[in-house]
A and B are shown apart, each in its own frame.
Chain A
Amino acid sequence: MSAPAELRLPRYRRDPEGTHPPLDYAGYRSTALRHPQEPLIVLPHLLTEVTGPALGPGRIGEFDNDLTQGHEGEPQGQRIIVTGRLLDGDGRPVRDSLVEIWQANAGGRYRHTGDRWPSPIDPHFDGAGRTLTDSEGRYTFTTIKPGAYPWKNHDNAWRPAHIHFSVFGSAFTQRLVTQMYFPEDPLFSQDPIFNSIPDEKARQRMIARFDLDRTEAEWALAFQFDIVVRGREASVFEDEEDEH
């Protein structure tokens, strides 16, 4: 093993308190038996944590970012274009990086055997897509605006319309799964998953912006949604190098 005597690795800022939801959240009942009860132990950012998989090249098919394609007919619902950038907390684009989405159809039903909500399955909509960010961290999906759906979490519980997003960033520390919500959804106030984020400003970062400039006339509405993964610590590494 040809390791240097002392490792100098990039460091990633830990996110401020309130950014992420607690693992135990009584309002979201499914956390009850699934949240760890022991305190988490701080994991230093060592080699395994500051590196991560480069996924994507060779993994993306031609229409994987267009969820309205690939079937004999057109899916039901309102076509939308979702664009955005994948950035780190220093504003740097995360390039050539895999972005995955999954969602319900226009009637709020997932194409999944476990989803028994009696809204029709759309034979022309699977609800899954993936793409790679470009050299400026941009991604684009064409899809259908998902519907709200009921779930049994509490009395008369409905999930606000949302699209699940999964991104990797370039390090294990940056891995993120989140949900994109739509502006001014009347269901926010009663949704424990949305409201699990303690910080109000952080919660707002999950809401997409209607983007008139990107709409396509007589064809599709557009929403803009940037995703930010944590940033690097101001570089102690380079300062130290300079002194040598």
Chain B
Amino acid sequence: MPETTPSQTVGPYLSIGLPWPDGPEVVPADEPAAIRIHGRVLDGAGDPVPDAMIETWQADADGRFDHPDDPRGAVASGFRGFGRCPTDPDGNYEIRTIKPGLVPGPAGSTQAPHIDVSVLARGLLHRVVTRIYFEDDDTSQDPVLASVPESRRSTLIATKTDEGYRFDVRLQGAGETVFFDV
């Protein structure tokens, strides 16, 4: 059987090949339920990472995925569920999307609304993966958050702002974001 091809860094010039004009727009501008998720990617010195890319993957508002492996049946919603945004010179990114719904978890549990995130950048030989949760949701029963040391859970929770939600990614050091092994 073929074996997996190794990962390599996206390098400093990922912006040549990866961004799309509508990449950060998971939903159109006229979507009434649209939210803006924004933040910065910061390195271990607290400096912005200007050559990173954030990719997001999430359920729709009903917590469903338009995918054959969603056992509840694919939803022909046309909701792409995928967002992609390179960081700007100050390390900022921004995604326009909708809040995902509750998603089924293992053994009859329920996952709080969340978005899976890949972070790619020069200096990252392999993507790192994190999750965004939302501070105005009840996350107390979420099985994934429960597996994270309590002292670090706040790094996974986006804070409400006037403009949507703020979610910073700290690659290293004080307040380092929780990253997952997928």
Residues on A lying within 8 angstroms of B by beta carbon are 1-10, 14-16, 19-23, 25, 28, 30-38, 40-55, 59, 87, 89-91, 100-103, 110-112, 114-115, 126-130, 164, 166, 170-173, 175-179, 193, 196-197, 201-203, 205-206, 226-231
Task: Answer whether residue B33 sits at the interface, using C-beta atoms and an 8 A cutoff.
Answer: no
Cα separation A166 to B3 with both chains bound (whole Å): 17
Report which of A31, A37, A54 forms a contact with B67, defined as CB distance below 8 A: A54
Cα separation A23 to B126 with both chains bound (whole Å): 6
Check A21–B126 contact: CB distance below 8 A.
Answer: yes
Cα separation A9 to B72 with both chains bound (whole Å): 11
Report which of B6, B20, B101 forms a contact with A205, defined as CB distance below 8 A: B6
Check A55–B82 contact: CB distance below 8 A.
Answer: yes
Report which of B4, B13, B47, B181 forms a contact with A230, defined as CB distance below 8 A: B4
The 7 closest A-B pairs by CB, nearest first: A102-B17, A30-B123, A53-B82, A43-B180, A3-B104, A21-B125, A51-B67
Number of B residues, CB within 8 Å of A: 80
Residues on B lying within 8 angstroms of A by beta carbon are 1-18, 20, 43-45, 47, 49, 51, 55, 57-59, 62-63, 65-67, 69-72, 80-82, 101-108, 110-111, 114, 116, 118, 120-129, 131, 143-144, 147-148, 152, 171-173, 176-182
A43 CB, min distance to chain B CBs, angstroms: 4
Report which of B14, B45, B55, B152 forms a contact with A38, defined as CB distance below 8 A: B152
Check B182–A172 contact: CB distance below 8 A.
Answer: yes
Report which of A38, A48, A130, A206 forms a contact with B6, defined as CB distance below 8 A: A206
Cα separation A71 to B104 with both chains bound (whole Å): 50
B139 CB, min distance to chain A CBs, angstroms: 15
Report which of B15, B45, B59 forms a contact with A48, defined as CB distance below 8 A: B59
Check B3–A89 contact: CB distance below 8 A.
Answer: yes
Given contacts A20-B125, A30-B123, A175-B127, 14 further A-B contacts (CB under 8 A): A3-B110, A6-B107, A20-B4, A21-B8, A23-B126, A36-B172, A37-B176, A40-B128, A47-B59, A48-B114, A114-B13, A177-B127, A178-B7, A227-B5
Check B13–A102 contact: CB distance below 8 A.
Answer: yes
Check A34–B181 contact: CB distance below 8 A.
Answer: no
Contacts of A14 in B (CB 8 A): 181
A13 and chain B: residue at smallest CB distance = B4
Cα separation A225 to B40 with both chains bound (whole Å): 36
Report which of B10, B116, B125 forms a contact with A49, defined as CB distance below 8 A: B116
Query: Which of A59, A111, A228 has the most B CB atoms < 10 Å from its CB?
Result: A228
Check B179–A34 contact: CB distance below 8 A.
Answer: no
Check A1–B5 contact: CB distance below 8 A.
Answer: no
Contacts of B65 in A (CB 8 A): 47-48, 51
Check B176–A36 contact: CB distance below 8 A.
Answer: yes
Could you name 16 residue pairs across A and B whose Cβ atoms are closer than 8 Å?
Answer: A6-B108, A19-B3, A23-B126, A34-B44, A34-B172, A37-B172, A41-B181, A51-B69, A89-B3, A100-B18, A112-B13, A127-B16, A127-B17, A175-B118, A202-B6, A229-B5
Cα separation A224 to B31 with both chains bound (whole Å): 44
B58 CB, min distance to chain A CBs, angstroms: 7
B47 and chain A: residue at smallest CB distance = A33
B169 CB, min distance to chain A CBs, angstroms: 10
Query: Which of B13, B47, B80 has the most A CB atoms < 10 Å from its CB?
Result: B13
Cα separation A130 to B20 with both chains bound (whole Å): 11
